[in-house]
């Protein structure tokens, strides 16, 4: 099984350097791209079927095609890597950045060439200190070897790349809030339209993609779109970094064909549940996705199929719930995070999330009251998509809404018994 994204990542935890990356075929995708026109590069990415790996799954080539091109297009234009990765349960981008930083850099250069961008920014989560060190060295090495800067590889194409280590908030994962933060403003989301592809960073056309998305691009250019599609088990092309955390025997991260089932991830790669524990449910794509249960484990984990289970692929990093962990306590922990990370821009989010967190906390302390479940259900509707300024609050409601369905008896016991049943 081919593993293009992780083939260069070393088991000793060190990063591959530029010389080793080149020996492994690195920057061959860029060299090939620079012999093509920007339109040909764009068409290659479109044909590959690559979908954004940040969670939404929007077709990457389509996103790039929305950027104005040609002699009348506004400049400067920008490409931005979203390396904020503050989704609870997600750690795939950190793995790629620390182990193979040149892979993303190469992908960003190809993307910038395709949309005729003048500068590229890496927006990095503040806590990823080791990634910052390794990215800084990799960028400097890329400049020295003429992969960045003026007249890249004697082609006449120029690109500057800047690493921006952010102050860090969850809301910065939303692309327009990220752009505001890059501009030195408060990290609030922007109204859309206009979309960043036409009016983005400093009012200029901008493409924002996830780290894993950019990491796929060099391999697509090097090996072709048909090869990329052949890696998958479903119509969503390529491989995917799947992860699992919780009380499994081998928590971790694995590069597998897109469409691998949750059962295979949990039983074959994560080693199953720890001794004495049983699987009860899992959040499949980071904390802002709905629970899946045993009947859903054989559904392929791709962008479209997982919707049949009423959930989303998201980051594809499963958070596993066992039969001895309180689901109400788990949801309280999740909602505490989202309430803390609300930017406060709209009332349903900053007020509603705080209220939800307080109710769940009261339940865990044995202070739940009749009517609390109805209030929680109402909040999942008040903060549904379309009722808030951005997707933070709707995402926070997804695990709660599904939890209220799957674990209703657990909620009722908290209220009825005036205690958490999992606490002695």
Task: List phi, psi (to 5°) of 198.
Answer: -110, -40
Cα–Cα–Cα angle for 150, 154, 160, rounded to 5 degrees: 25
The 10 Å Cβ neighbour count of residue 402 is 22
Max Cα–Cα distance, the chain, nearest Å = 74
Using an 8 Å Cβ cutoff, are 248 and 320 in contact? yes
Instruction: Describe the chain by its helix, strand, coil percentages, rounded to 5.
Output: 45, 15, 40
List, by residue range, all CATH 1.20.1440.230 domains of the chain: 327-417
- Strand pairing partners for 248? 273
Output the CATH code of domain 327-417: 1.20.1440.230
Encoding tokens for residue 162?
């800047």
CATH topology of domain 239-322: Ubiquitin-like (UB roll) (3.10.20)
pTM score of the predicted model:
0.95
Using an 8 Å Cβ cutoff, are 115 and 64 in contact? yes
Encoding tokens for residue 148?
């960045």
SS3 per-residue string spanning 59-119: EHHHHHHCCCCCCCCCCCCEEEEEECCCCCCCCHHHHHHHHCHHHHHHHHHHHHHHHCCCE
Q: Using CA atoms, how far apart are residues 239 and 50, in angstroms rounded to an integer?
A: 10
Instruction: Tell me the pairing of strands 160-165 and 119-124.
Output: parallel
Task: List phi, psi (to 5°) of 319.
Answer: -110, 115
Q: Using CA atoms, how far apart are residues 100 and 168, in angstroms rounded to an integer?
A: 23
List, by residue range, all CATH 3.10.20.600 domains of the chain: 239-322
List, by residue range, all CATH 3.40.50.11540 domains of the chain: 18-230
| 112 Cβ contact list (under 8 Å, min separation 6) | 79, 118, 119, 120, 159
C-alpha distances out from residue 46 to 35, 67, 87, 112, Å? 18, 14, 27, 15
pLDDT at 93: 97
pLDDT at 1: 76
Q: CATH number for the 18-230 domain, one of 3.30.360.10, 1.10.760.10, 3.40.50.11540, 1.10.10.10?
A: 3.40.50.11540
Helix, strand, or coil (residue 285): coil
| 193 Cβ contact list (under 8 Å, min separation 6) | none
Strand ranges, E, within 211-343: 239-245, 252-257, 279-283, 317-322
Encoding tokens for residue 332?
């309280």
Using an 8 Å Cβ cutoff, are 7 and 76 in contact? no
Annotate 256-271 with b (16+ C-beta within 10 A) or e (fewer): bbbbbbbebbbbebbe
pLDDT at 424: 66
Q: What is the pLDDT along the chain (424 residues), one digit of tens a residue?
A: 799 999 999 999 999 999 999 999 999 999 999 999 999 999 999 999 999 998 788 999 999 999 999 889 999 999 999 999 999 989 999 999 999 999 999 999 999 999 999 999 999 999 999 999 999 999 999 999 999 999 999 999 999 999 999 987 899 999 999 999 999 999 999 999 999 999 999 999 999 999 999 999 999 999 999 999 999 999 999 999 999 999 999 999 999 999 999 999 999 999 999 999 999 999 999 899 999 999 999 999 999 999 988 999 999 999 999 999 999 999 999 999 999 999 988 999 999 999 999 999 999 999 999 999 999 999 999 999 999 999 999 999 999 999 999 999 999 999 999 999 988 6
pLDDT at 34: 98
């Amino acid at each position: 099984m081919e593993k293009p994204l992780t083939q260069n990542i070393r088991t000793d935890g060190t990063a591959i350097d530029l010389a080793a990356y080149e020996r492994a075929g690195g920057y061959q995708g860029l060299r090939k791209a620079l012999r093509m026109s920007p339109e040909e590069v764009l068409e290659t990415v479109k044909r590959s079927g690559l979908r954004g790996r940040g969670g939404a799954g929007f077709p990457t080539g389509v996103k790039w095609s929305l950027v104005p091109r040609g002699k009348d297009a506004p400049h400067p234009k920008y490409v931005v890597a979203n390396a904020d990765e503050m989704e609870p349960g997600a750690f795939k981008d950190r793995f790629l950045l620390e182990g193979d930083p040149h892979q993303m850099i190469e992908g960003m250069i190809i993307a910038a060439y395709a949309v005729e961008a003048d500068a590229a920014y890496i927006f990095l989560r503040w806590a990823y200190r080791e990634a910052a060190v390794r990215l800084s060295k990799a960028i400097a090495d890329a400049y020295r070897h003429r992969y960045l800067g003026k007249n890249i590889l004697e082609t006449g194409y120029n690109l500057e790349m800047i690493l921006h280590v952010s102050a860090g908030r969850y809301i910065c994962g939303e692309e327009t809030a990220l752009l505001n933060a890059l501009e030195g403003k408060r990290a609030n989301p922007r109204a859309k339209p206009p979309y960043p592809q036409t009016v983005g960073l400093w009012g200029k056309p901008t493409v924002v993609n996830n780290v894993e998305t950019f990491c796929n691009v060099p391999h697509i250019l090097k090996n072709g779109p048909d090869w990329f599609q052949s890696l998958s088990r479903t119509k969503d092309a390529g491989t995917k970094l799947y992860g699992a955390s919780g009380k499994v025997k081998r928590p971790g991260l694995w590069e597998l064909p897109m469409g691998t089932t949750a059962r295979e991830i949990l039983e074959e790669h994560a080693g199953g549940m720890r001794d004495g524990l049983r699987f009860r449910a899992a959040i499949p794509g980071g904390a802002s996705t709905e629970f899946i249960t045993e009947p859903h484990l054989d559904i392929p984990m791709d962008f479209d199929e997982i919707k049949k289970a009423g959930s989303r692929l998201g980051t594809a990093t499963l958070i596993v719930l066992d039969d001895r962990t309180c689901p109400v306590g788990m949801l309280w922990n999740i909602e505490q995070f989202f309430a803390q990370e609300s930017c406060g821009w709209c009332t349903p989010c900053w007020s509603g999330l705080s209220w939800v967190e307080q109710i769940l906390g009261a339940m865990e302390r044995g202070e739940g009251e009749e009517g609390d479940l109805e209030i929680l259900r109402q909040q999942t509707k008040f903060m549904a998509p379309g009722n808030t300024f951005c997707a933070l609050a709707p995402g926070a409601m997804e695990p709660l809404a599904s939890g209220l369905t799957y674990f209703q008896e657990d909620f009722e016991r908290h209220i009825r018994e005036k205690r958490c049943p999992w606490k002695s």
